[in-house]
Chain A
Amino acid sequence: GAVVSQHPSWVICKSGTSVKIECRSLDFQATTMFWYRQFPKQSLMLMATSNEGSKATYEQGVEKDKFLINHASLTLSTLTVTSAHPEDSSFYICSARGGEAGIGTDTQYFGPGTRLTVL
Chain B
Amino acid sequence: RKEVEQDPGPFNVPEGATVAFNCTYSNSASQSFFWYRQDCRKEPKLLMSVYSSGNEDGRFTAQLNRASQYISLLIRDSKLSDSATYLCVVKRARGSSNTGKLIFGQGTTLQVKP
CA distance A44 to B92 in the complex (A): 16
Assess whether B107 is in contact with A110, with CB atoms less than 8 Å apart: no
- Judging by beta carbons under 8 Å apart, are A106 and B32 in contact? yes
B28 an interface residue at 8 Å Cβ cutoff? no
Given known A-B contacts A42-B106, A43-B107, A111 and B43 have beta carbons under 8 A apart: yes
A110 to B101, CA, bound (A): 13
CB atoms of A46 and B102 under 8 A apart: yes
Inter-chain contact B41/A46, CB cutoff 8 Å? no
The answer to whether A46 touches B101, judged by C-beta atoms less than 8 angstroms apart, is: yes
Contact of A93 among B43, B99, B100, B107 (CB under 8 A): B43
Complex Cα distance A106/B41, Å?
25
Those of B27-56 within 8 Å (CB) of chain A:
32, 41-45
Residues of chain A lying within 8 A (CB to CB) of residue B91: 106
Q: Does residue A49 face the partner (Cβ distance < 8 Å to B)?
A: yes
Known: A42-B106, A43-B106. A113 touches B42 (CB 8 A): yes
Number of A residues, CB within 8 Å of B: 23
Question: Does B75 lie at the interface of the complex (its beta carbon under 8 Å from any beta carbon of A)?
Answer: no
Q: Most B CB atoms within 10 A — which of A43, A46, A91?
A: A43
Contact A43 B87 (CB under 8 A): yes
Closest to A97 in B: B100
| A67 interface contact, C-beta 8 A | no
Residues of A within 8 A of B41 (CB): 91, 113, 115
Q: How far is the CB of A78 from chain B (nearest CB, A)?
A: 18
Query: Do the beta carbons of B99 and A32 come within 8 Å of each other?
Result: yes
Inter-chain contact A57/B99, CB cutoff 8 Å: yes
Q: Does B104 contact A (CB under 8 A)?
A: yes
B107 — nearest CB in chain A belongs to which residue?
Answer: A43
The proximity string for A residues 22-54 relative to B, scoring 1 for CB distances below 8 Å and 0 otherwise, is: 000000000010101000011111100101000
Other than the given A49-B101, A57-B99, A115-B41, 16 more pairs (CB < 8 A) read: A34-B102, A41-B8, A43-B107, A44-B44, A44-B87, A49-B99, A91-B41, A93-B43, A97-B100, A106-B32, A106-B91, A106-B100, A110-B43, A110-B44, A110-B45, A112-B43
The 8 A-B pairs at the shortest CB distance, nearest first, are namely: A110-B43, A44-B104, A43-B106, A43-B104, A113-B43, A49-B99, A112-B43, A93-B43
